Homo-oligomer: A and B are copies of this chain.
């Protein structure tokens, strides 16, 4: 592997000049040509490692997610990657399926002088707080005292869901979530509950252990008896659809079903799941921008909260009474 020293020797200039050329700083015409030729001849590739040791930062941002198996996170990764690469940054996706792995990633990113971390797990709050020189942005799930938050307006999303079910003629609806409640789930439920109340709909709530556990008797009973269901995620909506199908309740004839996220997964399904769509690309872009600002010396206030609006995407699992739903 050729080094900058080799290039300098071949080009007949100093290493400093080669370095300047590499960093697009002014270099005289003749020097420029000689260096370019030398680089070409040697197949020289600058070492980002050595460069990083001087600059004390590398154009890399880490994205920590609980699992890339969930479409929401893979779409978020793509959005962030797009926004970051436009600015010349690489993004390192970190699939932290355990807290222990998350710690390793945080450590690794910090000691690699990453330009920033975007975290979505809502975990390891204390560790993130110890990061003095690595800016952190929370996306989707917030952390206390850790830097700005960017996420969808989940409360509003819950309200929209309630309104839509109301428009579909529902009177007795049910919210379905995970036993382990996250901040965003709570917000969706909160918005939903409030709006149901003001619209005069009866509103219950059921929770399932996780995405794969079988539905318990209580859950099945509730799902079997209401006329509208708001699932906290499209994934849960899919499962609910399967259950309703299995007991002969037809969607949307007998019961209206609405999910959340509107990821590609929900739209592959037949019928397509009616869903509250997050503007994931907007969320990603916003998070990256905040990080870039921080890199230019901007402040990273832990109080800042950016809420991106959501909207309803009509699918085939709900049927509004009026065309102007």
Taking beta carbons and an 8 Å cutoff, which residues of A are in contact with B?
1, 43, 45-50, 52-53, 58, 68-69, 74-75, 77-78, 81, 85, 90, 92-93, 95, 97, 101, 104-105, 107-108, 110-113, 130, 132-133, 235, 238, 241-242, 245, 264-265, 268-270
Contacts and interface: CB of A to CB of B under 8 A. Distances in A.
A48 B111 contact: yes
A108 B48 contact: yes
A268 B270 contact: no
B58 A68 contact: no
Contacts of A78: 68-69, 95, 97
B45 A1 contact: no
Contact of A68 (B74, B85, B92, B110): B74
Given A74-B74, A78-B68, A133-B1, A45 B265 contact: no
Given A92-B92, A95-B77, A68 B68 contact: yes
B45 A49 contact: no
A69 B58 contact: no
B132 A1 contact: yes
Contact of A74 (B52, B69, B110, B112): B69
Q: Is the interface of A mostly helix, strand, loop or mixed?
A: helix
Given A69-B78, A92-B92, A111 B52 contact: no
A46 B111 CA distance: 6
B111 A264 contact: no
Given A52-B49, A69-B78, A101 B113 contact: no
B81 A108 contact: no
- Residue from the set A48, A105, A108, A113 with the largest chain B CB neighbour count within 10 Å: A48
A58 B187 CA distance: 42
- Residue from the set A78, A130, A235 with the largest chain B CB neighbour count within 10 Å: A78
A259 to B, nearest CB: 13
Contacts of A108: 48, 90
A105 B241 CA distance: 41
B47 A113 contact: yes
Contacts of A270: 241-242, 245
Given A47-B113, A69-B264, 19 more contacts: A45-B107, A45-B111, A48-B111, A48-B112, A49-B112, A50-B53, A68-B93, A69-B74, A69-B75, A69-B78, A74-B74, A77-B93, A77-B95, A93-B93, A93-B95, A238-B268, A241-B270, A242-B270, A265-B265
